Amino acid sequence: MQLEGKRVIVIGAGSGIGRCVAVAASEAGASVVLAGRKQESLEATAALLKGPREVRVLDASVEAQVAAFFESVGPFDHLVSTTSQGASGPITEMGAASVERAFAAKLWAPIFLVKHAAARIAPEGSFTFFSGFRAWKPAPGTSITSLVNGGLEAFTKAMAVELAPVRLNAISPGVVDSGAFWERLGADARERLFADYARRAPARRVGRPEDLASATLFAMTNPFLTGTVLAVDGGGPLM
């Protein structure tokens, strides 16, 4: 029970990796605050937890909502955020609205979360953000994904210096079969992507949300881990 007596906020708890992190934190003894934009998805996660939990609807890319959230949520120990909004395609065809949505989820949300949580998080607490392997393994059409993930990693390191001793880390997943994240591709393209990644990656499979949840618990509980990017990707980007 590594998180016994701890309060953990999970933003993005309604799906994928965030849902799995919420379950793992609860099983490790934490009281969990489940946050995201969709009440129904958050309630579905809450139903999976046996320990203390509360559901909070929050758009983390809206500063006023984030400020009000932390004013009402009270003291806490750890915050994990998986917020993400895809923007893929050639830069020549990229609309500003898509870019802005990606920035909102991966850059503005972490900025607002850190800004408004900094005075309330426990001094031995931690923030864990999710970037992604495209930060350092770009492909045609991933420019905005690469940009926001790289930016988030740089921001995380800068905040680890500025907010010490509070710890900040980023986790960089490879291709993970997390449900909603790859649905936009359609079933056939998704299966091809998963098969290709599993063939190339030294781990010989795609990731599972549980792989990322266990890394997140490590990031939350290891007192000497800060300012780093943990690549949890089966080695796929090496190939």
**Applying CB under 6 A, which residues contact ligand NAP?**
11-12, 14-18, 36-38, 41, 58-61, 82-85, 105, 109, 130, 132-133, 173, 175-176, 178-181
> Of 165 and 184, which has the nearer Cβ to ligand NAP?
184
For the CB of residue 191, give the shortest distance to ligand NAP in the complex, in Å: 14
3-state SS, the chain, equals: CCCCCCEEEEECCCCHHHHHHHHHHHHCCCEEEEEECCHHHHHHHHCCCCCCEEEEECCCCCHHHHHHHHHHHCCEEEEEECCCCCCCCCHHHCCHHHHHHHHHHHHHHHHHHHHHHCCCEEEEEEEEEECCHHHCCCCCCCHHHHHHHHHHHHHHHHHHHHCCCCEEEEEEECCECCCHHHHHHCHHHHHHHHHHHHHHCCCCCCECHHHHHHHHHHHHHCCCCCCCEEEECCCHHHC
For the CB of residue 59, give the shortest distance to ligand NAP in the complex, in Å: 5
Q: Which residue has its beta carbon closest to ligand NAP? A: 16
For the CB of residue 65, give the shortest distance to ligand NAP in the complex, in Å: 8
> Of 164 and 195, which has the nearer Cβ to ligand NAP?
195
For the CB of residue 235, give the shortest distance to ligand NAP in the complex, in Å: 14
> Of 135 and 166, which has the nearer Cβ to ligand NAP?
135
> Of 18 and 125, which has the nearer Cβ to ligand NAP?
18
